[in-house]
Amino acid sequence: MNIIEKYKYIPSIYCIVSKVTITPATHLAIDGIRGFLIRKVTRFGNGAKVDCPKEYLGQSVYLVILDHEE
């Protein structure tokens, strides 16, 4: 099999699907934060997204899933 035959079946779009595990907890304590945001999760294609101000681009963030509706 030459190199063209080897790679002609590879699709041009790759999808990486990963399952995120959630650690059940009833208390979360985080030091050194500037504040927090409460946002609604909305549909985005086959997944979901949470809007966030662009001033936080490139920073590490936490997404806390609440047990009750806001």
pLDDT, tens digit (0-9, with 9 covering 90-100), for 4-52:
555 555 555 555 666 778 788 888 888 888 888 888 889 988 888 888 8
Please enumerate in sequence order all residues whose Cβ is within 8 A of that of 51, keeping only pairs 6 or more positions apart, or say none. 39, 42
Quickly state the pLDDT bin for 66 (edges 50, 70, 90): confident
Q: What's the total number of domains in the chain?
A: 1
pTM higher than 0.75 for the full model? no
Domain presence at residue 15: no
Q: What pLDDT is recorded for position 50?
A: 87
Distance between CA 36 and CA 49 in Å, rounded? 17
Domain presence at residue 10: no
* Closest C-alpha among 45, 51, 47 to residue 63: 51
Domain presence at residue 14: no
Domain presence at residue 5: no
